[in-house]
Amino acid sequence: MKEVNETAPLEVDQHITAHSRYYAGTIGSLFYTTLRDEKKILGIRCAACDRVLWPPRQTCGRCFTQLSEKDFVEIGPNGTLETFTRVSYSEPVHPAPAPLIYGIIRLDGADTGITHLIGGVPFEALRVGMRMMPVFSEERHGDILDIRWFTPLGE
């Protein structure tokens, strides 16, 4: 048996594409069906620490309080661009071909942001603090891409 040098890093070149389905749970299901059917964005308010989380989740990440459907609140739909980046290469897991822009958008009424696509604007025109609005997909399927992208709010 060959002796292994435990201090030398081992590099493995692999490319993985995984297709899967998962149950979004009660909280996720209500979030996605409301997004799909009503084009409304829901957050969830933690009664213990008074933070509004988006997207909603079953447990508050700050204080670990269990959250439920009674804690839902409507947020947005507009928000603020907190940061952004451009991706110049394509991968099968990307929701769109490159180049694409991702940003973190904190919706009005929420205390957390979400990473999503930015569209309808050149990268050079984006600024942290810009007001953004969602552009909904014409055909919605009950997932986060029912929001096609966020674009600057015409002010």
Calculate mean pLDDT across residues 75-84. Answer: 98
Helix ranges (H only) for 13-77 are: 25-38
CA angle 110, 111, 116 (to 5 degrees): 70
What's the Cα-to-Cα distance from 95 to each of 101, 105, 128, rounded to whole Å?
11, 17, 23
Percent of the chain at pLDDT > 70 equals 94
Give the separation between CA 155 and CA 153, rounded to whole angstroms: 6
Contact 53, 110 (CB under 8 A): yes
The rounded mean pLDDT for the chain is 91
Structure confidence at residue 21 as a pLDDT band (50, 70, 90): confident
Instruction: Kindly report the pTM of this predicted structure.
Output: 0.82
The domain limits of the chain are 25-152
Q: How many residues does the chain have?
A: 155
Secondary structure tally for the chain: helices H, strands E: 1, 8
| pLDDT-based confidence at residue 155 (cuts at 50, 70, 90) | low
Which residues contact residue 46 at a Cβ distance below 8 angstroms, ignoring those fewer than 6 apart?
Answer: 52, 53, 60, 62, 63, 65, 67, 71
Q: Is the model's pLDDT at 100 over the cut of 60?
A: yes
Residue 81 token pair: 């661009």
Token couple for 72: 């839902």
Of 19 and 38, the one with more pLDDT: 38
- pLDDT tier at 15, thresholds 50, 70, 90: confident
Predicted confidence (pLDDT) per residue in 107-153, tens digit: 999 999 999 999 999 999 999 999 999 999 999 999 999 999 999 99
